[in-house]
Structure 1
């Protein structure tokens, strides 16, 4: 994919250079036409009509120029698309995408622990969506694992779209690439609002009043007749406008912000409607957008109505707009649109959001061809992965195997020194489960898992505002994880880092042992890391379904060296004192 992206990027850059040259030539041509028009006007005078020829030519060239500028903008968006794709492939993407911090949820059972949001997060790696609906859907999928049946259907769709680079580029060049278009929550709320202007008959009557008024005024202007009638009709228009003014203002203000970037939404809907799909999941999304009229045509119509309404703000058109009751008429048209199709808008936004989320996962799959789609199986809790590495780390990430459930251990107690890779390994496993249950591939040579909910206590923090110490926050998290394991009847993966490190060693050993044994007794699977070698005895208490493993290090030539390889058994070394000495602390 690196080679394909590079080739397309070079081609788009050449196309942009050609477009820029053409733009310069057309700009010179327009200037020449203006000069010719002025010369013609000077030589022949305004009454001859010869100046209309260069004026018409200028208008035609302006249309062509506008199309060229639009094409150049799309080429720039394509260049940005491939540059960002290459940055992700080469692991140069961190800090250049969307962090997704707005989607963080306080006390979520694994989001912060697994770095799903924030700088360098899984969300930043995945979020290539064009609309807020797509972004929200992607965040929701990260936070809430899907049933295996849904995840399998998404897998099929992701596989299909991963090979559709042309389609992914087409979506990427819709609209401005520097922002996320279409505020879905605002559009949903507007579509569901009840502010209305009245029956269609009223709209027709107002339109008829304007037509009659314009006709009578034109007659009066030409002949001088019907002056009194014209004045009466104008007064009638003013009275009608005043009567409807509060409701018109409500409609206009309500639609103003939600209607931003509707053209982006319409074009994206059109891409989905017109594409040919094989997967059941994508074809179902298409059916959601179908009907007597397509979703794209309805959204495009709303975009045109809003644009016509906004034209009243043009200073040159303000007076005619008032005379034509412009705001009132187009407000009625927008209200009629909402009455007719407003109830469909949430379903359309859902379909767009899901399509974009699947497309984002497809981009991840295409850009990481070494990843594999996990085998999602039903049955007792189990997780098996070979050569599993963290999805957001670079090519130097060290893979490890994991086997939990079935004939393998249900609990792995991991000991090891500081910075040896214990927490990263837990996050690697957690992120893999999140990706698998989204319908995405995972960074492994082989993966197989049952439906597993995740409960993690890796990055639990105190809260000054809530008056909670770190220890109290941790035991609350542990209670939630235990409750989850009971509720899910053991279909849970728990990830506990340095469990109960905020208390004395005696209480820690007793409390940690009780929590871990209680979780295993529900049938849950888990990883527990510790520096306290007294806790590794928990494996003996549980029996054959628990094992000890460790990460270690070597201190050579004054430097700590890690291989990040998981090894069986209990760690036999520590590095705390060596680390302190390595930074100049006398110990």
Structure 2
């Protein structure tokens, strides 16, 4: 991990130096623009005084060209500076992740929190201090959605997991590819923008605008209008310049062939045409403008993806989908991006002047519709490929940052989890590792132990490593074997006042879903923390025994924690497949300590009374009559 940290620090320093150099270049360029303007202005004044009109016109032209070029260069360098700053921030974030400061990251996946999900809420997959907050490097809306899907859905088969593993192993080493892809995603103006509206729009067609007769008429009309309008403008310009230079002359007779009212007449006709079906055209323009920034980012991300060569068959097969009609996706989206860019820049006076003359609005719409016919049906597929790679890069961060973690083995046959030195991936220096063997011989693990001894954390450790294993990520263990199962948890239960559901009944509903899944013949892993804690001790004891026996019969895997030490007696029954484990504490100098190590057998210690005393409750003074 030290070498990984060094690499991040080296890259952070590198991008910071490049950023400062770029700032210096931009400062020099700004000074050059100012000097060019001042010098040009001085020469213009001198030429005007000397009445060197030809040189004056030439200098004006040179100044305009030079100023435009310097402006273009300035924008280009500003973009590069922004990228360098983003890459600097990415490496700064990576250092924080390694040093345990990742809980300050802003994107916690709050929008994905689902208290009714089988396990994600209990295992802290989303929210503050969550797995998502720790690993996420996806910034597009659909990329975040894809990562959420991978972390919350059971894979179809083990090949699906192994495909992801191969991609994660390769991407783990491609640090530049991952960081540049993240940087491209980060520049999106609105990363929360759901592209579903864009995907639907891509598949819609405005057939009326593409009818040959309509296009033919529009082209002839706009050409005639443009020519006639130009003649009028030339006459006006000729008059203005001649007055300005004090050499008034009428424009050449050729420009008087077309009367001034002809271009005005054609412009009025085109204004009427522009009013026809305006709502349909405006819908196209509004959507193109709305997603302009996202489309530009998608284009840049696809360009970055297409430039790289991969060895993983899974990624190679993904990238094969980026070609259509002999053209790669980035070039096709680049064409569309330029259309959207011009539409986004239409909010100015020049557009309102030129649109009635050149029918720009119609030509934009025609260009959009032609592009949608050629490439629109593939657009969603291309963006989904970006999302898949963003999600895989997020998972690959785990592989790169934790080179000593193992890639899990997915096995067939009866449900099984075997782990050596397994720890919770989010705990770092507080992590205590334990071995685990949960299989057909003893499919139910009953864990007893005192308060704060580590029962709940151990169960979350099992669950979160299963989530990582199914996602194709490395797990926090030396060795890890498991089968593909439906995972259910019942750990963090709260009242739902809106639906008038008590915590006890909410727990019953969760357990009901586990029992029903078992009856359907699914392979189930259940993680149950302090079952039936919302009722009295007698009912809790009866319910727990019944549930444990039922899970015992199904042959699925179950990990159950409890304070009810009497439940441990079930393991003594002849046909029982339950095995007892416990966590314990020890005392030193009037202080309580926990080793968080899993041990065989039933717990022999209790610490509730001791903890009450630490809280200031004088146990010996309680009046029993009360």
Q: TM-score range by the shorter chain?
A: over 0.9
CA contact (8 A) 1:183 1:260 kept: no
SS at match of 1:241: helix
Q: Distance in 2 between matches of 1:368 and 1:309?
A: 46
What's the offset of the Cα at 1:245?
Answer: 1.0
SS at match of 1:456: strand
Given candidates 330, 338, 353, the residue that maps to 1:319 is 353
Given candidates 98, 104, 114, the residue that maps to 2:107 is 98
Runs of 5+ unmatched residues, structure 2: 236-254, 620-626
Task: Indicate how the Cα distance of structure 1 residues 543 and 101 shifts in structure 2: closer, same or farther if over 3 A, else same.
Answer: farther
Tell me the equivalent position of 1:471: 504
CA contact (8 A) 1:377 1:450 kept: yes
Tell me the equivalent position of 1:569: 601
Tell me the equivalent position of 2:371: 337
What's the offset of the Cα at 1:561?
Answer: 1.2
For residues 20-69 of structure 1, give each alpha carbon's deviation from its aligned partner in whole angstroms, at most 9, with x where no partner exists: 22222222222222221222122222832335445544433333332222
Task: Indicate how the Cα distance of structure 1 residues 17 and 246 shifts in structure 2: closer, same or farther if over 3 A, else same.
Answer: closer
Asked if residue 26 in structure 1 is aligned to residue 37 in structure 2, the reply is no
Given candidates 83, 95, 108, the residue that maps to 1:86 is 95
What's the offset of the Cα at 1:573?
Answer: 1.1
Tell me the equivalent position of 1:39: 42
CA contact (8 A) 1:23 1:68 kept: yes
Task: Indicate how the Cα distance of structure 1 residues 196 and 576 shifts in structure 2: closer, same or farther if over 3 A, else same.
Answer: farther
Given candidates 3, 9, 13, the residue that maps to 1:10 is 13
More displaced 10-residue stretch of structure 1: 547-556 or 84-93? 547-556
Given candidates 337, 344, 348, the residue that maps to 1:303 is 337
Q: TM-score, normalised by structure 2?
A: 0.89
Given candidates 569, 578, 581, the residue that maps to 1:549 is 581
CA contact (8 A) 1:416 1:574 kept: yes
Q: Distance in 2 between matches of 1:452 and 1:274?
A: 38
Q: Distance in 1 between matches of 2:493 and 2:208?
A: 52
What's the offset of the Cα at 1:542?
Answer: 7.4
What's the offset of the Cα at 1:87?
Answer: 0.9
SS at match of 2:103: coil
For residues 443-479 of structure 1, give each alpha carbon's deviation from its aligned partner in whole angstroms, at most 9, with x where no partner exists: 1111011112101001122200111111111011001
For residues 215-260 of structure 1, give each alpha carbon's deviation from its aligned partner in whole angstroms, at most 9, with x where no partner exists: 1322455523344543442233122211121211232234443443
Task: Indicate how the Cα distance of structure 1 residues 557 and 466 shifts in structure 2: closer, same or farther if over 3 A, else same.
Answer: same
SS at match of 1:312: coil
What's the offset of the Cα at 1:318?
Answer: 2.4
More displaced 10-residue stretch of structure 1: 274-283 or 16-25? 16-25
Tell me the equivalent position of 1:154: 164
More displaced 10-residue stretch of structure 1: 157-166 or 193-202? 193-202
Given candidates 222, 230, 233, the residue that maps to 1:210 is 222
Tell me the equivalent position of 2:270: 237
CA contact (8 A) 2:420 2:480 kept: yes
What's the offset of the Cα at 1:429?
Answer: 0.5
Q: TM-score, normalised by structure 1?
A: 0.95
Task: Indicate how the Cα distance of structure 1 residues 245 and 121 shifts in structure 2: closer, same or farther if over 3 A, else same.
Answer: same
Asked if residue 354 in structure 1 is aligned to residue 388 in structure 2, the reply is yes
Asked if residue 70 in structure 1 is aligned to residue 70 in structure 2, the reply is no
SS at match of 2:497: coil
What's the offset of the Cα at 1:396?
Answer: 2.5
CA contact (8 A) 1:219 1:225 kept: no
For residues 302-331 of structure 1, give each alpha carbon's deviation from its aligned partner in whole angstroms, at most 9, with x where no partner exists: 221111122221234322234322223212
Runs of 5+ unmatched residues, structure 1: none
SS at match of 2:272: helix
Q: Distance in 2 between matches of 1:311 and 1:257?
A: 12
SS at match of 1:465: helix
What's the offset of the Cα at 1:281?
Answer: 0.7
Task: Indicate how the Cα distance of structure 1 residues 102 and 305 shifts in structure 2: closer, same or farther if over 3 A, else same.
Answer: same
For residues 510-545 of structure 1, give each alpha carbon's deviation from its aligned partner in whole angstroms, at most 9, with x where no partner exists: 211222222232221111000111222233347453
Task: Indicate how the Cα distance of structure 1 residues 509 and 350 shifts in structure 2: closer, same or farther if over 3 A, else same.
Answer: same
What's the offset of the Cα at 1:195?
Answer: 5.7
How many residue pairs get matched? 585
Given candidates 455, 467, 470, the residue that maps to 1:437 is 470
Tell me the equivalent position of 2:526: 494
Counterparts in 2 of 1:74-473, with a 5 A limit?
74-146=83-155, 147-174=157-184, 176=186, 180=191, 183-193=194-204, 197-201=208-212, 202-221=214-233, 222=235, 223-227=255-259, 229-292=262-325, 293-407=327-441, 409-473=442-506
Q: Distance in 1 between matches of 2:78 and 2:600?
A: 63
What's the offset of the Cα at 1:83?
Answer: 0.7
Please report the RMSD computed on the Cα atoms of aligned residues, expressed in angstroms.
Answer: 2.1
What's the offset of the Cα at 1:183?
Answer: 3.4
CA contact (8 A) 1:273 1:290 kept: no
Task: Indicate how the Cα distance of structure 1 residues 7 and 145 shifts in structure 2: closer, same or farther if over 3 A, else same.
Answer: same
CA contact (8 A) 2:489 2:526 kept: yes
What's the offset of the Cα at 1:103?
Answer: 1.6
SS at match of 1:261: helix
Task: Indicate how the Cα distance of structure 1 residues 53 and 388 shifts in structure 2: closer, same or farther if over 3 A, else same.
Answer: same
Task: Indicate how the Cα distance of structure 1 residues 194 and 421 shifts in structure 2: closer, same or farther if over 3 A, else same.
Answer: farther
What's the offset of the Cα at 1:194?
Answer: 5.4
